[in-house]
Structure 1
Amino acid sequence: MRDFDEHNITDAVIDSLAQTGDARLKTIMTSLVRHLHDFVRDVEISFDEWNAAIDFLTRTGQMCNDRRQEFILLSDTLGVSMLVDAIDHRMPAGATETTVLGPFFVAAAPEVQSGADISGGMEGEPLSVSGVVCSPDGDPLADATVDVWHADDDGYYDVQQPDLQSLTMRARFRTDRDGRFSFRSIMPAFYPIPHDGPVGEMLQALGRHPYRPAHVHFMIAAKGYETLITHIFDAESPYLDSDAVFGVKNSLIAEFSRDDRSGRPQRSLSYRFGLKPLPQPAQRSAAD
């Protein structure tokens, strides 16, 4: 085929995919081409605008390194990360909803005993957290691993602070026979996502702020269940209705209760985490 124009080029590109051996790849690329071409036709994008878009994506890639992933930030701020998460994690009743992992997870967090203080001596309002991990039906899950991490009261994670000599405000726990775990730390603050690069420029051009509401991250794994990645958000935090990465869900907003009886303000959080069972392998009949 030759003599392409705005009306026939889409079908020509899709026809060129006919020999794609991977059926799923062919499906994805066919849809991508069709939607991308429809977008260009819809807004009648100019060459200058398309070149600006290519420059933006180029600078986004150049911003990526082993400590920062600007493309994930772009995905997050356009709501794509949460859309993929929602499609990939359709949860049954009784299972805790998921949200994005975020850029500050550390796989090598130290495993400590339940009840430990993980603040590392960081200054802030004391926080006590307790949780129970269970099946959707409420059966406790013993020996589940619970990774937790959060920002300090200035909105910074430990990995953003090169002066810190060790990991703080993060740890790994194991649940007891009743599915329970607990720890002590400090209250996290709301904070801005990195906005000194192309994604920050985009947010500014769109009149959007870069802030996320205060939250604590949890990643919980147990044999026979899907690993849960979620946050619990402070019900009193700003930006719950305008999270820069669209990660807030009503079921993940909780009260970080105040207790001033000791003369020193303290906060506490208690939450039940339900895990989604993995699909059971198909049973083979005797005839098989």
Structure 2
Amino acid sequence: MRNLNQDNITQAVLARLANTPDSRLHEIMTALVQHLHAFAREVKLTEAEWFAGIQYLTATGQKCSDTRQEFILLSDVLGLSMLTVAMNNDKPQGCTEATVFGPFYVEGAPHYEHGEDVANGASGEPCLVRGTVRGLDGKPVANATIEVWQADNEGHYDVQKPGLTQPQARGVLTSGADGGFHFKTIVAEAYPIPTDGPVGDMLNATKRHPWRPAHLHFMIKAEGYETLITHVFRDGDQYLDSDAVFGVRQSLVADWAKQPDGSYLLNYDFVLNPVAR
């Protein structure tokens, strides 16, 4: 088709997609083209603005590495990550709510026995974390894989520290026969997401703060249950109502209780949703 213009180009592109073999891919690509074209028309996108957008996405990709996922961060601050989580994790009442994955998960974290210190030298006030993993029916879930990770008291994850030779403040545990687990770590503190890349530029341009409320990441996997990706947030944090990535859920807010010896204690129980059969 020749002589395409702003009135007929959308339909021409959709026609080129008509023979897409995968029906789901066809559905997604059709909607993507329709919405992108509608967006460009709505804001009367200029060529200079379009090129600036291309440069921005290019810079976002260039900022990604094995230890930094700038595209996840961009999705997070636009609320897209949390929207996707909410749409895909509509669990029955009583199940632990899911929240965003975040850009700093790393595979291959060290395994720890119950009671060991996953902080492994990370700076922060000492804290004991304990809880249980149960199913929606209340029965304990034994042998669940529990992955945890967090920032230190300076707001940095281990992968953000050049030259660090060992994982810190992250680890993998296995729930006991009673579904229980406990480990030592450090107290969660609020921290700003990285602002030295394109995401930071966008936050500055839109006058948004980069702060996340204090939290501890969990990913829990068990046979017969849906994988749970979530945080536990520290009660009283000043950023609970303005999380930069929109991830807070009231049910995930818990108290880090200060103990007589000056350390802290976090108790939190997780409830997994069984896999539909």
TM range, smaller chain: over 0.9
Q: Across the two proteins, how many residue pairs are aligned to each other?
A: 277
What TM-score results when the alignment is normalised by the length of structure 1? 0.92
The 5-angstrom pairing of residues 14-33 of structure 1 reads 14-33=14-33
Residue 54 (1) aligns with residue 59 (2): no
Read off the aligned partner of 1:141 and give its amino acid letter.
V
Please list the CA deviations of residues 186-210 of structure 1 after superposition, one character each: whole Å capped at 9, or x if unmatched. 1121111111111111110000111
Partner of 1:11: 11
The 5-angstrom pairing of residues 1-288 of structure 1 reads 1-259=1-259, 261-262=260-261, 265-280=262-277
Please list the CA deviations of residues 214-233 of structure 1 after superposition, one character each: whole Å capped at 9, or x if unmatched. 10011111110111111000
Of the structure 1 ranges 201-210 and 89-98, higher mean CA displacement relative to structure 2 is found in: 89-98
After TM superposition, the runs of 4+ consecutive aligned structure 1 residues lying more than 6 A away are none
The answer on whether the counterparts of 2:95 and 2:271 sit within 8 Å (CA) in structure 1 is yes
Within 2, Cα distance between the matches of 1:25 and 1:277? 29
Within 2, Cα distance between the matches of 1:245 and 1:272? 24
Within 1, Cα distance between the matches of 2:202 and 2:177? 49
Within 1, Cα distance between the matches of 2:122 and 2:51? 47
What TM-score results when the alignment is normalised by the length of structure 2? 0.95
Within 2, Cα distance between the matches of 1:52 and 1:45? 11
Of the structure 1 ranges 48-57 and 59-68, higher mean CA displacement relative to structure 2 is found in: 59-68
Secondary structure of 1:120's match? coil
Within 2, Cα distance between the matches of 1:181 and 1:24? 41
Within 2, Cα distance between the matches of 1:121 and 1:62? 31
Cα deviation for residue 66 of structure 1 reads 2.1
Secondary structure of 1:166's match? coil
Cα deviation for residue 38 of structure 1 reads 0.8
Please list the CA deviations of residues 6-50 of structure 1 after superposition, one character each: whole Å capped at 9, or x if unmatched. 222212211121111111111001100111111111111111111
Within 1, Cα distance between the matches of 2:163 and 2:19? 55
Question: How large is the Cα RMSD of the aligned pairs?
Answer: 1.4
Please list the CA deviations of residues 76-114 of structure 1 after superposition, one character each: whole Å capped at 9, or x if unmatched. 111111111112222112211111222222221121111
Residues 121/51 of structure 1: CA separation in 2 closer, same or farther (3 Å cut): closer
The answer on whether the counterparts of 1:148 and 1:219 sit within 8 Å (CA) in structure 2 is yes
Of the structure 1 ranges 55-64 and 207-216, higher mean CA displacement relative to structure 2 is found in: 55-64
The answer on whether the counterparts of 1:94 and 1:135 sit within 8 Å (CA) in structure 2 is no
Within 2, Cα distance between the matches of 1:18 and 1:124? 57
Secondary structure of 2:245's match? coil
Partner of 1:284: none
Of the structure 1 ranges 103-112 and 137-146, higher mean CA displacement relative to structure 2 is found in: 103-112
Give 1 or 2 for the bigger CA radius of gyration. 1
Within 2, Cα distance between the matches of 1:64 and 1:122? 24
Within 2, Cα distance between the matches of 1:196 and 1:50? 23
Within 1, Cα distance between the matches of 2:2 and 2:66? 44
Between the aligned residues of both structures, percent identity stands at: 52
Read off the aligned partner of 1:12 and give its amino acid letter.
A
Read off the aligned partner of 1:229 and give its amino acid letter.
I
Q: Please list every run of 5 or more consecutive structure 1 residues that lacks an aligned counterpart in the other structure.
A: 281-288
The answer on whether the counterparts of 2:67 and 2:104 sit within 8 Å (CA) in structure 1 is no
Of the structure 1 ranges 77-86 and 63-72, higher mean CA displacement relative to structure 2 is found in: 63-72
Q: Please list every run of 5 or more consecutive structure 2 residues that lacks an aligned counterpart in the other structure.
A: none
Read off the aligned partner of 1:277 and give its amino acid letter.
P
Cα deviation for residue 163 of structure 1 reads 4.2
